[in-house]
Structure 1
Amino acid sequence: MKHARPLFGDGVLAALLTLGGVVGTTFAGSPSRAEVPIDVRGYVLVVTAAVVLAVRRRWPQAVLAVVALCTWSYLVLGYAYGPILISFMLAVYSAARHAPLNRAVPYSLAALAMTLTHLLVHSHRLGLFGVVDVSAWVFVPFSLGFALRTRREMAVRARAEAIRQSVDDERLRVAQEVHDIVGHGLAAIKMQADVALHVLAKKPDQAEVALEAISRTSSEALDELRATLAMVRRAGTEAERSPVPSLARLDELRRRMAEAGVYVRLENSGEPVAALPVAVDLTGYRIIQESLTNVLRHSGAEQATVGIRYEPGGVLITVSNTVTDYSPGEGGSGISGMRERVLALGGEFTAGPSPDDGFEVRARLPTGGPS
């Protein structure tokens, strides 16, 4: 169906050119207007040149060769210039538009050389204007076809680049989600495992509590990971999944952190937004989650403060702890990933020592409201 429509259109075009060619050639080749009156041979050449254009997209070089031969024969026989030249120029255009360029150029030059020879046969047509006119029959349609071909190829490349960029962005988003989910879960599990190993011999009851926390944390992390992957896999249908992480679900995160040994104090201020944009809500949660994971992994602090301040047009998120000896290690992507998330939404992000001699992550996310 995709190729049938252009083929049908070319068939209609060929039929119209055939009809117009016969009528126009009859008028142009009348005895009162032409040195050589039109006859059966002339009509056969005109009709042949028009009919083969029905397959100009499928075999553009062959069509140009046939039309050029018909046009050359028509001109050499001395018939008056007429509609056959329209078929000739359309064949040149089709070669430039649809044929490989390394074939379209030599075929078009050969067609030009062939048509120029009729000027030598009919010397009264020879001259500067005659050469310019014949050259224009080739160069003008070829230039038009080449320009449209170039624009089409550029559009295809731009579309392919847009698709590639979209795929890359989606891969990055999924990688960030998986990094946040798995990183936070493993950090909490490691902390609980260390506790269990430390108290296993002397306080087995506490070890059992730690192991239960490990089981619960790993189960929650797996559920969240499945939900994220389900969102990626689904195509046009709603996949069953856990609730999307949001700032309204921070109590669960605080509980997991408490079980891992870090007490989180939550401070809310401002007038809460009834419904934050989904991207802002999820990004805010991930910023807090990754910041607390870094506290758990790298700072050794037993307490952290999370501040959420709702402002006109945005929400300010801060995560701080009192330990300045923060060493995120090498090759980590936590802070850079957070920064990319925030900047992608048009927000502001900083991470570094805080005024109270601690370490603070600060992110301001726009909500689209009045500012």
Structure 2
Amino acid sequence: MTRTPGPLSPPEPVAGAGRGRWVWLADTALAVGLFAITVPVSTVIGRNMPGAVEVDGWGYALIALGTLSLAVRRRWPLGTLAVNSLAVSTYLVVGYPYGPMLLSYLIAVYTVAAHLPVRRAAVGTAVSLVVLLAHTVVSIRGTPEGLLGLVPGSAWVAVPFAVGATVRVNRQSAAQARIEQARRLADDERLRIAQEVHDVVGHGLAAINMQAEIALHLLAKRPEQAETALTAISRTSREALDELRVTLSVVRRDAAVERAPVPGLDQVAALTDRLRRSGLPVTLELTGERRPLAVAVDLAAYRVVQESLTNVLRHAGAATAMVRIGYLPAEVTVEVLDTGHGGAGVAGPGAGHGLTGMRERIGALGGVLEVGPRPGGGFRVFARLPAPARD
């Protein structure tokens, strides 16, 4: 049998399990504090206000019921409002004096509006208002206030309800903003990882493809040289897999893998050596005094070199390449030149995921990327990244 939640059923927990105890303690402290204030103040008012009924044992019992029910206000908002409404309404119908007792009702209304859906909160509050206004037409020991009491009585509902609803809307907006921010960060991280995987896998497969073609060409005529190409394929695939593991460690959070260094310009020499062994004649020139760079800048500069040389392997045909790295006082520059025939039609600006990814990566760091054919043939990729010297 399925149990249908009634008006007094507890809603979904407002606070997380870790916070539940502290929330309950805070609400209990509020309830006890309000009870401790209401009792003496109501006693003084009852003794000195003309026409008011002096608070007696029943009055104190109603004060206790109304104020102490607030201890569970966030666990059972509607239940707390129902109990509080009956206690406050009975208190007023008997003729006891106005005072801090009404503050407990105000807090109960606010809690319902702040923690329940608008429709449920509005229905529950409307019913409680009818109960509360009973003292305007019925009075056991005093004189009913009549219609004149409707306006101030309604104000004790409208004001806290409006405040609670506003707080709830603001809380939901803030939570939605946090969700959207987390989603944007997750999307950015996925795009970054996808770009890293593209760079690593693309470069490795291009080098392996080149060596495989060489091996196939030499296998029948010069098998000893084909063996050299196959050895290069094995080494290149192993290095690509190692770098891929480092990249994917961001997702897996593998502590052992995360200790591996992030690629940077210091690894460009090894990269060019590997490509030379793969059959691409490439030279490396360094100008300026080498210095440590920010991790993001160092990685971006390395990826520019890697992606550019990968494009040479894929598109330039029989070509040579040159890599120039310049360390300037406030920036670092990377230039990759080739003598191939890829041309703008193959790898022109904005073409393909590789160059698009490079442009986005460099732009995000405040840098500039220039790509295009060289006068006289070949292709040029030039990147300038801000990298002020660190003290």
TM-score, scaled to structure 2: 0.86
Within 5 Å, which residues of 2 pair with 1:60-209?
Answer: 60-121=77-138, 125-126=145-146, 130-209=149-228
Which stretch of structure 1 is more off in the superposition, 160-169 or 192-201?
160-169
* 1:199-256 deviation per Cα after TM superposition (whole angstroms, max 9, x unaligned): 1111112211111111111111122222333354336x56465443221221221122
Within 5 Å, which residues of 2 pair with 1:32-43?
Answer: 32-43=49-60
Q: 1:195 to 1:241 in 2, by over 3 A?
A: farther
Q: 1:76 to 1:68 in 2, by over 3 A?
A: same
Within 5 Å, which residues of 2 pair with 1:280-291?
Answer: 280-291=297-308
Q: 1:340 to 1:49 in 2, by over 3 A?
A: same
Q: Is residue 268 from structure 1 mapped to residue 313 from structure 2 by the alignment?
A: no
Quote the Cα distance in structure 2 between the aligned partners of 1:363 and 1:348: 6
Q: 1:239 to 1:324 in 2, by over 3 A?
A: closer
Residue identity matched to 1:29: G
Instruction: State the Cα RMSD in Å.
Output: 2.4
Quote the Cα distance in structure 2 between the aligned partners of 1:11 and 1:242: 53
Within 5 Å, which residues of 2 pair with 1:300-311?
Answer: 300-311=317-328
Tell me, yes or no, if the aligned pair for 1:183 and 1:293 is still in contact at 8 Å: yes
Unaligned runs of 5+ in 2: 1-17
Percentage of pairs with the same residue: 49
SS of 2:382's partner is strand
Quote the Cα distance in structure 2 between the aligned partners of 1:230 and 1:35: 74
Residue identity matched to 2:174: A
Quote the Cα distance in structure 2 between the aligned partners of 1:277 and 1:232: 22
* 1:84-121 deviation per Cα after TM superposition (whole angstroms, max 9, x unaligned): 10010010011111223321111112222332343234
2:45: which partner in 1? 28
Quote the Cα distance in structure 1 between the aligned partners of 2:197 and 2:44: 76
Structure 1 residue 170: Cα displacement = 2.3
2:230: which partner in 1? 211
Tell me, yes or no, if the aligned pair for 2:269 and 2:284 is still in contact at 8 Å: no
Quote the Cα distance in structure 2 between the aligned partners of 1:14 and 1:242: 57
TM-score, scaled to structure 1: 0.91
Q: 1:348 to 1:328 in 2, by over 3 A?
A: closer
SS of 1:3's partner is helix
Tell me, yes or no, if the aligned pair for 1:28 and 1:34 is still in contact at 8 Å: no
Structure 1 residue 196: Cα displacement = 0.7
Q: Is residue 341 from structure 1 mapped to residue 361 from structure 2 by the alignment?
A: yes
* 1:4-23 deviation per Cα after TM superposition (whole angstroms, max 9, x unaligned): 01101111111111121211
Residue identity matched to 2:327: Y
Quote the Cα distance in structure 1 between the aligned partners of 2:157 and 2:238: 72
Q: 1:3 to 1:124 in 2, by over 3 A?
A: closer
Unaligned runs of 5+ in 1: none
Quote the Cα distance in structure 2 between the aligned partners of 1:38 and 1:242: 76
Tell me, yes or no, if the aligned pair for 1:21 and 1:47 is still in contact at 8 Å: no
